[in-house]
Amino acid sequence: MHKRVLSGMRPTGRLHLGHYFGALRSWVELQNDCECYYMSADWHALTTDYADTSKVDENTLEMVADWITAGIDPAKSIIFRQSKILYHSELFLILSMITPLGWLQRCPTYKEQINEIKNKDLNNYGFLGYPVLQSADILLYKADIVPVGEDQLSHVEFTREIARRFNNFYGNTLIEPKEMLTKTARVLGLDGRKMSKSYGNSILLGENNDALENKVKNMFTDPLKIKKTDPGHPDGCIVFAFHEIFDKYPKKRKEECKAGTLGCVECKKQLLEMLVEFMRPLAERRKDLISDKAYLKKILEAGCKKAVETANKTMEEIHKALKF
């Protein structure tokens, strides 16, 4: 039996290199040996952006276009939209009955976001219950593996705990999933903080050459390296952090920077070349995809048809376990 994989992202706009290297790349790899379910977590998008839902449809299509651009193959993977499979909301409700409030209140992502996000009122039940909904997504498909970025680890852990609790009460029904982290679990943004849309420090998938040039030009370099011959400190340098992702020989670069034989201007120029090269095919693919919305919608519909079959089977077992 092939292992089953489920992952998702919230449709909040275009994806960036953080999504690509942090998660999407492993989604793509898993397609070859696993049964993969990739979903647009549109209900999750509402946990924080409930006040304006006008962009969810459009963002979902943009995101699916980005996924396919990155190499997700609709012929191999099941791509669907969470809200179209009603079982997600049903399992969310059932799991909410057995979720201790303390687990939710202690969840690190909850604590962090409640403290950090000040421009939205997050004192709502849905936001507190975010990990319960995510658990429903994963458990509904009996996923063995959940490929995610570092920030989602606590949610996968939560999912295991809630599955264990369900199985203890009602008998062995749900599968405890394992997380899978990519090698580059954290991609830094242009300013050295984690790459994130809300920080405005990201490089988008399919970004055009002018934008790339501008972004690379404005990156900070090592403040102690003023002339080419000054010894550099690549470990704290954001340009080098990108080279570690794109350059085949980052060690050599590191030595040359430290030795004062490679200057920052040249180093940036080489980074820009690598970025442009990497991005060109992605930008082309993305442009074609985004101009064919009907195709993207068809992919989602076909994915939903398959996803609902799997979800339905699990739900029947759940009802049986509950003796309903």
Give the count of beta carbons closer than 10 Å to the beta carbon of residue 136: 25
Name residues contacting ligand TRP, limited to 141-160 (CB under 6 A). 146, 148, 152, 155
Q: Is residue 165 within 8 Å of 132, Cβ to Cβ?
A: no
Question: Distances in Å between the alpha carbon of 106 and those of 92, 103, 112, 148, 189?
Answer: 19, 5, 10, 21, 28
What is the total count of residues that contact ligand TRP (CB under 6 A)? 14
Q: Is 6 in the site for ligand TRP (CB under 6 A)?
A: yes
In the set 10, 14, 215, 254, which binds ligand TRP (CB under 6 A)?
Answer: 10
Largest CA distance in the chain: 75
Q: Is 70 in the site for ligand TRP (CB under 6 A)?
A: no
Q: Is residue 63 within 8 Å of 205, Cβ to Cβ?
A: no
Give the count of beta carbons closer than 10 Å to the beta carbon of residue 96: 16
Question: Is the CB of 44 or the CB of 243 nearer to ligand TRP?
Answer: 44
Q: Which amino acid, one-letter code, is at 297? A: K
Cα 274 to Cα 266: distance, rounded to the nearest angstrom: 13
CB of 136 to ligand TRP, least distance (A): 9
Give the count of beta carbons closer than 10 Å to the beta carbon of residue 119: 5
Phi then psi for residue 183, to 5 deg, are -60, -45
CB of 105 to ligand TRP, least distance (A): 18
In the set 4, 7, 24, 104, which binds ligand TRP (CB under 6 A)?
Answer: 7
Q: How many CA atoms lie within 13 A of 246 on its CB side?
A: 21
**Span near ligand TRP by CB under 6 A; candidates 6-14, 68-76, 120-128, 299-307:** 6-14
Q: Is 8 in the site for ligand TRP (CB under 6 A)?
A: yes
Name residues contacting ligand TRP, limited to 102-141 (CB under 6 A). 134, 137-138
Question: Distances in Å between the alpha carbon of 148 and those of 25, 44, 101?
Answer: 10, 15, 25
CB of 134 to ligand TRP, least distance (A): 4
Q: Is residue 131 within 8 Å of 158, Cβ to Cβ?
A: yes
Residues 18-57: x where in contact with ligand TRP by CB under 6 A, - otherwise, as a string: -----------------------x--x-------------
Question: Is the CB of 12 or the CB of 221 nearer to ligand TRP?
Answer: 12
Q: Is residue 186 within 8 Å of 153, Cβ to Cβ?
A: no
Question: Is the CB of 151 or the CB of 247 nearer to ligand TRP?
Answer: 151
CB of 19 to ligand TRP, least distance (A): 9
CB of 261 to ligand TRP, least distance (A): 42
Question: Is the CB of 274 or the CB of 308 nearer to ligand TRP?
Answer: 308
In the set 4, 5, 9, 216, which binds ligand TRP (CB under 6 A)?
Answer: 9
Mode of pairing for the β-strands spanning 178-180 and 145-147: parallel
SS3 144: coil
Residues that bind ligand TRP (CB under 6 A): 6-10, 41, 44, 134, 137-138, 146, 148, 152, 155
